[in-house]
Amino acid sequence: MAQYLFETIDLEKSYKMGNQVVHALRGISTNVQAGEFVSVMGPSGSGKSTFMNLLGCLDTPSNGSYLLEGVEVSSLLPQERAHIRNQRIGFVFQSFNLLPRTSALENVALPLRYGGIPRRKRLARAGEVLEKVGLGDRLDHYSTQLSGGQQQRVAIARALVGNPALILADEPTGALDTRTGIEIMSIFQELNRQGMTIVIVTHEKEIANFTQRHLHFRDGLLINDEHATKVEDAKQQLSQLLKTEEE
């Protein structure tokens, strides 16, 4: 059994731009255990999005190792990495990435379709996870009929539908107002309490404060890895915000 859910060892990623070589990641070594809630922070160009792409098997490193559940991912064939993306990793993006003329139910069920799950089973499973994120009464709504917060809930449900080992969220509150962002972080915190491993890319310290551990990137380097001394409770903060609005 793998000691960590994932581990990176001297992970590097370089891009050639004309005659120049851009070093996006410079020897990143870290690990995350199952059940952790981690934020990846840093300014634009720090390497945090590149790191997320490598974790999600959307790209391969130039050097170093990435092990997911004990498997050396970087040495796999493209179709094998695609299988891992579908079966073991759930993605949540800032822009939601939902199909506009498709119901919430069908949007959530889509990854199961790619996995070859029969239609009746995948729709039943999609309904279960939409209920879990509070959208059991919005199954037939198109994404254009949903608010930004509701669309992100659909995206979270889609990430959950295949029972992944890891959820990767890239700026999941970036397109939302403060109140809705806190609602989304409340969902992530509840999922983490249930045992889900979650890694969030964010440039907002206020969002990172809802996570248990912070990885700080700068210039392609991991410059700080710290466990939070205090984790903000999103439900409590949301309750206080609603109370203030009522007053």
- The pLDDT value given to residue 243: 82
Q: What is the DSSP string of 6-48?
A: EEEEEEEEEEEETTEEEEEEEEEEEEE-TT-EEEEE--TTSSH
Check residues 211 and 116 and name the one with the higher pLDDT: 211
CB 170 within 8 A of CB 93: yes
* Mean pLDDT, residues 91-104 taken together: 93
Report which residue type is found at 85: R
Residue 1 scores a pLDDT above 60: no
Encode pLDDT of 180-228 as tens digits: 999 999 999 999 999 999 999 999 999 999 999 999 999 999 999 999 9
Cα–Cα distance for residue pair 31/47, rounded to 1 Å: 17
Neighbouring-strand partners of residue 20: 17
pTM for the predicted model, two decimal places: 0.94
A 10 A CB-CB count for 18 gives 6
Residues 139-170 pLDDT 10s:
999 999 999 999 999 999 999 999 999 999 99
Does 247 score more than 80 pLDDT?
A: no
pLDDT (0 to 100) of residue 116? 85
Domain regions of the chain by residue span = 6-246
Architecture of domain 6-246: 3-Layer(aba) Sandwich (3.40)
Other Cβ atoms closer than 10 A to 247: 5
Question: Shortest CA distance to 150 belongs to which of 103, 184, 126, 182?
Answer: 184
